[in-house]
C-alpha cells in the first residue's frame, strides 16, 4: 500500500501513522527525519542539504526529491510506504508523480485528515513534550500521571514554543496556501480519502482501515 498522509498541525498525522505502519507493515517516512538522517550520516545528498541549511536557505526541491526516491528504493519499502510531509507543493507533487512511476511505486491513496479550528487549537495548546525523551502528552486527552513529569523517564514536560494559537494560525495559512493545491491535484486524480479526524483515534483508524481495505 503506497500512502501519502496530509493534514494541518494537530490533525493527528503522527498517531495515525503509527497505527497504519503497525497494521500494514510499511515504513513511516517523514521527510524531516529523512533530511536529518542524511545530514547526520554525511551522505552526498545530506552534504548538499547541509550547505543550504547552514547558509540559511531552503533545501531545493531536486535535493528533497532525490532523497525521497532513494529512500523509497530501500528494501523495507517493498510492501509500500507511508509518506509524511511530502509533497508540500504542487511542484513537488508533479515531480513525485514522475519519480513514483519510474520506480514502480505510484501513490494509491492520499489520506487527508480534516479537523476544525477549535479542536486543533485545543490539541495544539494542550500538547506537552518531554524535554529529555520526546514523549508526547496532552493536558486533557493524554495527561501524565504526575503533572508536568514524564511517565517514561521522569523528566520535565514542556510546551513547544510554536504550540500557540498565534503559530497555529500561521501554520494553517501556510497549509492552505501550499498544501491545498496539492490536495486539489490528487482530488482530480481520484486519490483523496478524506477523513473526519475530530473523533477518537481508534474510531478514526477503524474508518481508515475500512476505506483502505477497499483499495488494497
Q: What is the pLDDT of residues 168-186, one digit of tens each?
A: 998 889 888 889 999 999 9
Q: Of 53, 51, 50, 85, nearest to 68 (Cα)?
A: 85
What pLDDT score does 203 carry?
A: 87
51-85 confidence digits (pLDDT tens) = 988 888 888 999 999 999 999 999 999 999 999 98
Q: 210: which 3 cell numbers?
A: 475500512
Q: Tell me, what's the pLDDT at 32?
A: 83
Reply yes or no on whether 152 is catalytic. no
Q: Where are the domains of the chain?
A: 2-115+176-215
Identify the sign of the CA torsion 7, 13, 16, 21. Answer: positive
Question: pLDDT, tens digit, for every residue of 11-34?
Answer: 888 889 989 999 999 999 988 889
Give tens-digit pLDDT for 79-109. 999 999 899 899 999 999 999 999 999 999 9
Starting from the edge strand earliest in sequence, which strands make up the sheet with 81-84, in order?
28-30, 81-84, 2-6, 109-114, 192-196
Residue 180 annotated in active site: no
Q: What pLDDT, on a 0 to 100 scale, did the predictor assign at position 10?
A: 85
pLDDT reported for residue 79: 93
Question: What average pLDDT does this structure show over 157-168?
Answer: 92
Q: Which CATH number fits domain 2-115+176-215: 3.40.50.300, 1.10.1740.10, 3.30.1300.10, 3.30.70.100?
A: 3.40.50.300
Question: What is the model's pLDDT at position 216?
Answer: 63
User: Per-residue pLDDT averaged across 144-158, rounded?
Assistant: 97
pLDDT at position 133 = 93
Indicate if the pLDDT at residue 191 is higher than 80: yes
| CA-based R_g, the chain, Å | 18
Whether residue 128 lies in the annotated active site: no
Of 213 and 182, the one with more pLDDT: 182
Q: Which of 50, 171, 194, 209 is catalytic?
A: 171
Structure confidence at residue 212 (pLDDT): 85
CA pair distance 43, 32, nearest whole angstrom: 15
Is 71 labeled as catalytic in the residue annotation? no
Distance, CA of 194 to CA of 7 (rounded, Å) = 10
Q: Which of 71, 123, 127, 128 is catalytic?
A: 127
Check if 171 is active-site.
Answer: yes
- Per-residue pLDDT for 201 more than 90? no
Neighbouring residues of 200: CB distance < 8 A, sequence distance ≥ 6? none
Task: State if pTM tops 0.85.
Answer: no
Amino acid at each position: 500500500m503506497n500512502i501519502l498522509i496530509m493534514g494541518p498541525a494537530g490533525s493527528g498525522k503522527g498517531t495515525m501513522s503509527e497505527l497504519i505502519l503497525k497494521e500494514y507493515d510499511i515504513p513511516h517516512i517523514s521527510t524531516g527525519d529523512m533530511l536529518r538522517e542524511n545530514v547526520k550520516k554525511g551522505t552526498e545528498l545530506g552534504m548538499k542539504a547541509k550547505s543550504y541549511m547552514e547558509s540559511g536557505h531552503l533545501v531545493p526541491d531536486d535535493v528533497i526529491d532525490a532523497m525521497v526516491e532513494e529512500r523509497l528504493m530501500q528494501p523495507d519499502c517493498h510492501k509500500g510506504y507511508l509518506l509524511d510531509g511530502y509533497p508540500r507543493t504542487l511542484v513537488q507533487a508533479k515531480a513525485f508523480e514522475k519519480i513514483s512511476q519510474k520506480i514502480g511505486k505510484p501513490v494509491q491513496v492520499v489520506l487527508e485528515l480534516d479537523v476544525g479550528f477549535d479542536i486543533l487549537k485545543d490539541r495544539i495548546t494542550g500538547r506537552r513534550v518531554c524535554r529529555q525523551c520526546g514523549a508526547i502528552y496532552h493536558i486533557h486527552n493524554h495527561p501524565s500521571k504526575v503533572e508536568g513529569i514524564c511517565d517514561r523517564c521522569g523528566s520535565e514536560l514542556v510546551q513547544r514554543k510554536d504550540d500557540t494559537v498565534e503559530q497555529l494560525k500561521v501554520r494553517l495559512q501556510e497549509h492552505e496556501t501550499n498544501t491545498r493545491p496539492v490536495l486539489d491535484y490528487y482530488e482530480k486524480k481520484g486519490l483523496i480519502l478524506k477523513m473526519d479526524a475530530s473523533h477518537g483515534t481508534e474510531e478514526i483508524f477503524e474508518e481508515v482501515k475500512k476505506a483502505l481495505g477497499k483499495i488494497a
